[in-house]
Amino acid sequence: MPSAGGHWRRPDRGLRSQPVDEVVIRRAIAADAAGIAALLGELGYPAPAAAIPARLERLAGETGQSVLVAQLDGHVVGLASVFTRHDITDDAAFARLAALIVRTDRQGEGIGRALVEAAEVLARAAGCRVIEVTSGDHRPGAHAFYRRLGFEERPRRFIKRL
């Protein structure tokens, strides 16, 4: 649940392996660039830290775009990028979790769950009835994670590079 400053605080709720006592989920800022760049690299999308502030600024200017970070002990340990959009197929908006990354050495501590919960708060506030996420076939651990959080698998996504 967000506090007055737009931060989410999530207490431990029976998580597996070394639970996090408290993680702060907040909107990303330019000062998070090095941590965000490291996380993107772990996910397979390397980016120089110097590019991150401009990306954050560009996204901040687009309606429905949010980039959240998970902060623990003053360090960025996770990231979620979520956007909401309307489509001709429904009256309600939908949300897409475009990126979800937790630092490898902090996985299994509830940080990813906290980021997804914060993304769901944003989606509900935007009137969304659905939140979706895509995950590569080479990430079976991520697939199991999403299933545990109640995501239903709907295979087949087609992409054409332009």
- The pLDDT profile of the chain, 162 residues, written as one tens digit per residue, is 444 344 444 433 333 334 456 899 999 999 999 999 999 999 999 999 999 999 999 999 999 999 999 999 999 999 999 999 998 989 999 999 999 999 999 999 999 999 999 999 999 999 999 998 877 777 767 777 778 877 787 876 776 778
Residue 116 inside a domain? The answer is yes
Output the domain CATH number for residue 83. Answer: 3.40.630.30
Q: What is the pLDDT of residue 154?
A: 80
Q: What is the pLDDT of residue 138?
A: 72
Pairing of strands 22-27, 65-72: antiparallel
Residue 47 inside a domain? The answer is yes
Residue 70 in tokens: 């998970």
Residue 84 inside a domain? The answer is yes
Residues 93, 94, 97, 98, CA torsion sign: negative
Q: What is the pLDDT of residue 147?
A: 80
Residue 155 inside a domain? The answer is no
- Cβ atoms of 68 and 27 closer than 8 Å: yes
Q: What is the pLDDT of residue 8?
A: 47
Domain count of the fold of the chain:
1
* Domain of residue 79, residue span: 8-148
Burial of residue 55, with CB atoms counted within 10 A of its CB: 0-12 exposed, 13-18 middle, 19 or more buried: middle
Query: To which residue do tokens 């980021």 refer?
Result: 115
| CA 55/CA 30 separation, integer angstroms | 9
Residue 37 inside a domain? The answer is yes
| CA 40/CA 38 separation, integer angstroms | 6
Residue 42 inside a domain? The answer is yes
Residue 162 inside a domain? The answer is no
3 phi, psi to nearest 5 deg: -90, 180
